[in-house]
């Protein structure tokens, strides 16, 4: 009777060692890939917080807003744009301000986020009108409308049935919502 031991030839042992090494290498490479993707996403999300949340062009646009709109006029804005707009001009943003008194805050953030993300002019127009907005403030920076930093899809504004550009300073734009 045998001792219960299994004999592995040196050739098979080398193959098994190589296979184990390859498996460790493959698992390590996969982990590094996913770690790198997470790091890239984290960096992209944090970059916006590290950059100015209000630009000089936005500040210049406030003069146009004061001269061409009435107090309490409503603009589609992200959070920072809304805070700036209210503080500088006494106009209202769809976001920002005293969140404790804003009705339906989470659906509002979701809608405004979609306004900036969509390329569908009719959908964006519908969202703007739902909140009584007659203008859209589209700054020259990433936007934060409550759920994520994003770059606005500007293609929707080319539809003159819904939008008319009334102010531009480079990528800083204000559109009247028809």
What is the residue extent of each domain of the chain?
1-50, 56-177
CATH class of 56-177: alpha beta
Average pLDDT, the chain: 87
Q: What is the pTM of this model?
A: 0.73
Backbone angles phi, psi at 135, to 5 degrees: -140, 155
Give 17-62 pLDDT, tens digit per residue.
Answer: 877 778 887 887 777 777 667 777 766 666 666 666 789 999 999 9
- Of 30, 55, 80, the closest CA to residue 141 belongs to 55
Dihedral sign (CA 80, 82, 85, 86): negative
């Amino acid at each position: 009777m045998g001792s219960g031991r299994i004999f592995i030839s040196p050739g098979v042992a080398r193959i098994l060692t190589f296979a184990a090494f390859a498996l460790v290498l493959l698992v390590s490479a996969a982990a590094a890939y996913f770690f790198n993707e997470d790091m890239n996403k984290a960096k992209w999300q944090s970059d916006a917080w590290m950059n100015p949340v209000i630009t000089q062009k936005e500040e210049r646009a406030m003069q146009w807003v004061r001269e061409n709109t009435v107090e309490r006029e409503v603009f589609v804005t992200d959070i920072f744009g809304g805070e700036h707009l209210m503080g500088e001009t006494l106009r209202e943003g769809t976001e920002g301000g005293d969140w404790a008194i804003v009705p339906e805050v989470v659906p509002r953030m979701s809608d405004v986020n979609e306004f900036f993300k969509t390329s569908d002019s009719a959908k964006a127009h519908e969202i703007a009108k739902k909140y009584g907005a007659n203008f859209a403030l589209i700054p020259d920076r990433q936007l934060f409308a409550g759920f994520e930093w994003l770059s606005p899809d500007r293609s929707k504004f080319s539809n003159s049935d819904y939008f008319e550009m009334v102010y531009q300073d480079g990528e800083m734009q204000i559109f009247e919502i028809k």
